[in-house]
Amino acid sequence: MNIDPAQLLDLLSLLFILSIVFAAVIMGGKNLRKSAAFIRETCIPMGIIGTLIGTVLMLQDLSDPTAIGPAFSVGLLTMLYGFILFSLLPSSQNPAMNADNDKNALPTHNWLPDIIGLGVLFVAIFSAMASNGKPQVFFDVVAFTCVVLFTIVPTLLYSDPEHNLLEGKLIAARNYATTTTVIAIIVGIAGGLANIEDPSAYGPYIAIALLGSIYCGIIIITSTLLYRSVTDSQIPDFLSYTISYVMAGIVAFLFFGMTVTLAFS
């Protein structure tokens, strides 16, 4: 069996996974070790998000069965690139969620690179979602409700005395989003199996599993990058409270705006 290396190259998939590199370099600034840590901690989740987006897009057009295989293979390439990127970078002692820094010796945090870096990521993700001209297919009420109930609400209620408010919320967001991903997948599989005699019921349950995982993946990447970034800087406690609730408001507004846009577009 001959394997054509050209079949493992896809420009759009490569650009999608490289967006995490661009974001990491922007957020890491001149600290190359920090940028490398950013990339290593998020390249695999980013690759999985790309594969899930590709799967959703593929499922929207099943009129040509012969195109399913090639389309799915391209979707898998983002995950392949993510794992390759992970293997090429040096390991670190889990700096993303276990940093132990002397806060008094750290500089004041500059939020501009974080905003620009995350903006690059969101543009890449939402551009991929809109690539088929139907971004509304990436909105599902049940999947969105699962994320709100099992990730956003618990994160807002979470309290961690060992960290300042912002760091505690970011840790909680990542942990709850990981758990919610498992919940969405289990609900999707269980619902599909429970309605195995009704093929028309597969779609909604597949949507819960795929879209719930995409939503949670975005939260995981965002919380990981921000946590790694803020733990390298000094943030006064009163700013932690202010920033935490402002960020919560922004996230809620963005989710609401995206919901309305996708639902009525």
Domain segments of the chain as ranges: 7-264
What's the pLDDT tens digit per position in 181-192? Answer: 999 888 888 887
Q: Kindly report, residue by residue over 3-35, the tens digit of the pLDDT.
A: 566 667 778 888 899 999 999 888 887 778 888
**CA–CA distance from 81 to each of 2, 13, 102, 174 (Å)?**
21, 8, 36, 23
- Whats the size of the chain, residue-wise? 265
Question: Which residues of the chain register pLDDT less than 70?
Answer: 1-7, 61-74, 91-109, 199, 232-265
Of 221, 256, 260, nearest in space to 38 by CA? 221
Work out the burial of residue 129: count CB atoms within 10 Å of its CB; fewer than 13 is exposed, 13-18 middle, 19 or more buried. Answer: buried
